[in-house]
Structure 1
């Protein structure tokens, strides 16, 4: 039977790395799961909030660690534990997850959406009267088709349905939830992107206060001046795009492996190469990224909390070049969060 490991490093002030302590880590550490000495189920998704983390396994189980001040870990409804230093199981069976700054979103096989945590600006989607909830609570909406994907940024959530429709809630004042929206969308509402396009085959990513839809082209919604100012001059092969977002920037990777960076590069966010290979793993977090080349994992970007590895000097927190943080022949996936880095291995 295969055995999996989840490894992490970076910001850990409230235990969000799930390694049994709350100290920041600049070297990769193995995560701990309460009730399990070994993991035989495959991790399929890692969602990171401001200071908490959810991991979804192929079995449908979700484990949470980190800040639980507002119940965002979805476990302790009696308010007795403000944080979890190791991963603990959230009751229920789930198929998708996402996290915002202080909230979590879970989707079950019945196409139902549950939320928990804190959201003063509509982040929970439960209406103006409910801005904090400790127990995972069902959002009052019936979608017309199956949920294809769900993602959350700091303060907004977007759901894509298999029929091509999009729904969202949370902060919308900059246009990240489409056109003709109030500053806050308190309950899930269908998004009008103002595009006369069939969006069934489109994918999407979220930044801090923007949303990007993409297929063989991309459309940016929200106020991101640095990205918007650079769009006119960027060139790429307009086929089979993948796009990765940070808080204030995006990386476009086209079918030829060419990497185009648009946005804020004040802390080394730009990938230190112009191309990637088809076999190369690639992901981005708040203001840093990870990539796997052969059997090594490299980090770049803003690494103040150890998420990009050991600092060369205490005051040099930017990694403008790829910095090796881990080596193993059995690496199968990578993930990034808010100054956290994640590696999954299979033995």
Structure 2
């Protein structure tokens, strides 16, 4: 889940992979980002990587940093990055891992880093990464965990790091990782959470660390299923299948959207009729079914887009006709239904893509013909309608 991104060279040019002219494979599907490295999955199932590589996290068999993408694997269907390690699931369900391994986050039984992908599990349906821990859901619904367990984020009842996968739960539909906590949705829609709870990001009582995955006292009506979750620095957003959003965790910047800075759990919905959510470091976003975009929380760099730098404690509508949104720590990008890309907030590394390094307190139009976007810390990647990958800002630091 860790998606915090970053060269001392500023980019405003597309990064094109070395395909032959007229090739039909230059179609990028999705990104994943670690602290300073990036994975890019193509429509044809090939996996490419670029960025920092001091721990072998690019998976190309070296520790050489890459400013241009290098091919790593084929037949890949899903990807995830931890801080400095990478995971990929192939079409046959095989899970491969590579990169940093100091806490056993690769799951190969050692703490030795790997510069090339190593097979860890079979029959994997989905997976995700925290900073230094990894989780996988198998086809039979079982949930497995490995890596750092300082906060109990593996959910095995201990705080002992695990260098090989250990079974945690059954009947799991999906799993999502924060930096030190984990949430899983079961087939019946029940939400489980465990791990770090320093800011009540689990929705439990203050500092109630959950070492075993028990149903949390979550602010969701009994029987209401969970569609997705999004995590900021120390807060969580939960979207139910009926379109309501709940929040829990730190609220010193108003990132819970509950209208004050005292509470840590929203017992009533923050918003309704929501189709997707996103979280930055300390700000939150929601796209409603009608395409309107609401934002709230930290606004120190103008990332709310309301023309000020004052924090926003309740959801505020800032845009219409929005199809997708992505948050960096201190900036925001939104794609409209017509493919126009707008950006606002922190721009010290030119990550907004507006040919400047001036912070923007209201949304500014930066590109057209965009179909996907992903924000990092000082870097933005977007895919245009031609299938080309473009990078603006600092690729890595």
Common topology (TM > 0.5): yes
Q: How does 1:148-167 map to 2 (within 5 A)?
A: 148-167=173-192
Q: Could you tell me how far apart the structure 1 residues matched to 2:32 and 2:226 are?
A: 35
Question: Does the Cα contact within 8 Å between 1:125 and 1:139 map onto a contact in 2?
Answer: no
> Partner of 1:223 in structure 2?
250
Question: Does the Cα contact within 8 Å between 1:104 and 1:117 map onto a contact in 2?
Answer: yes
Q: How does 1:23-62 map to 2 (within 5 A)?
A: 31-34=69-72, 36=73, 39=74, 41=76, 43-44=77-78, 46-56=79-89, 59-62=92-95
Report whether the alignment pairs 1:239 with 2:277: no
Change (3 A) 1:21 1:167: closer
Q: CA deviation at 1:109?
A: 0.8
SS in 2 for 1:140: strand
Q: Could you tell me how far apart the structure 1 residues matched to 2:204 and 2:213 are?
A: 15
SS in 2 for 1:185: coil
Question: Does the Cα contact within 8 Å between 1:8 and 1:343 map onto a contact in 2?
Answer: no
SS in 1 for 2:254: helix
Which of 176, 179, 189 aligns to 2:204? It is 179
Segments of structure 1 that go 5 or more residues without pairing to the other structure are none
> Partner of 1:284 in structure 2?
327
SS in 1 for 2:210: strand
Q: Could you tell me how far apart the structure 2 residues matched to 1:184 and 1:218 are?
A: 24
Q: Could you tell me how far apart the structure 2 residues matched to 1:121 and 1:256 are?
A: 40
Q: Which moved more, 1:114-123 or 1:1-10?
A: 1-10
Q: CA deviation at 1:113?
A: 1.6
Q: Could you tell me how far apart the structure 2 residues matched to 1:296 and 1:69 are?
A: 42
Question: Does the Cα contact within 8 Å between 2:158 and 2:211 map onto a contact in 1?
Answer: yes
Q: Could you tell me how far apart the structure 2 residues matched to 1:73 and 1:171 are?
A: 21
SS in 2 for 1:225: coil
Q: CA deviation at 1:211?
A: 2.5
Change (3 A) 1:74 1:266: farther
Change (3 A) 1:265 1:119: farther
Report whether the alignment pairs 1:269 with 2:296: no
Change (3 A) 1:222 1:230: closer
Change (3 A) 1:115 1:295: same
Q: Which moved more, 1:64-73 or 1:155-164?
A: 64-73
Which of 112, 127, 138 aligns to 2:166? It is 138
> Partner of 2:224 in structure 1?
199
Which of 70, 80, 97 aligns to 2:103? It is 70
Segments of structure 2 that go 5 or more residues without pairing to the other structure are 1-22, 40-48, 55-65, 261-268, 307-316, 389-397
SS in 1 for 2:169: coil
What is the RMSD of the two structures over their aligned residues, measured on CA atoms? Answer: 4.2
Change (3 A) 1:72 1:298: farther
In the TM superposition, what whole-angstrom CA distance separates every residue of 1:178-212 from its partner, at most 9, and x where no partner exists? Answer: 33575321121111225544312554333332222
Which of 268, 288, 292 aligns to 1:254? It is 288
> Partner of 2:125 in structure 1?
95
Q: TM-score, normalised by structure 1?
A: 0.72
How many residue pairs match? The answer is 321
Question: Does the Cα contact within 8 Å between 2:105 and 2:163 map onto a contact in 1?
Answer: yes
Q: Could you tell me how far apart the structure 1 residues matched to 2:120 and 2:351 are?
A: 26
Q: Could you tell me how far apart the structure 2 residues matched to 1:310 and 1:69 are?
A: 39
Question: Does the Cα contact within 8 Å between 2:128 and 2:135 map onto a contact in 1?
Answer: yes
Q: CA deviation at 1:250?
A: 0.8
SS in 1 for 2:278: strand
> Partner of 1:208 in structure 2?
233
Question: Does the Cα contact within 8 Å between 1:178 and 1:193 map onto a contact in 2?
Answer: yes
Q: Which moved more, 1:189-198 or 1:244-253?
A: 189-198
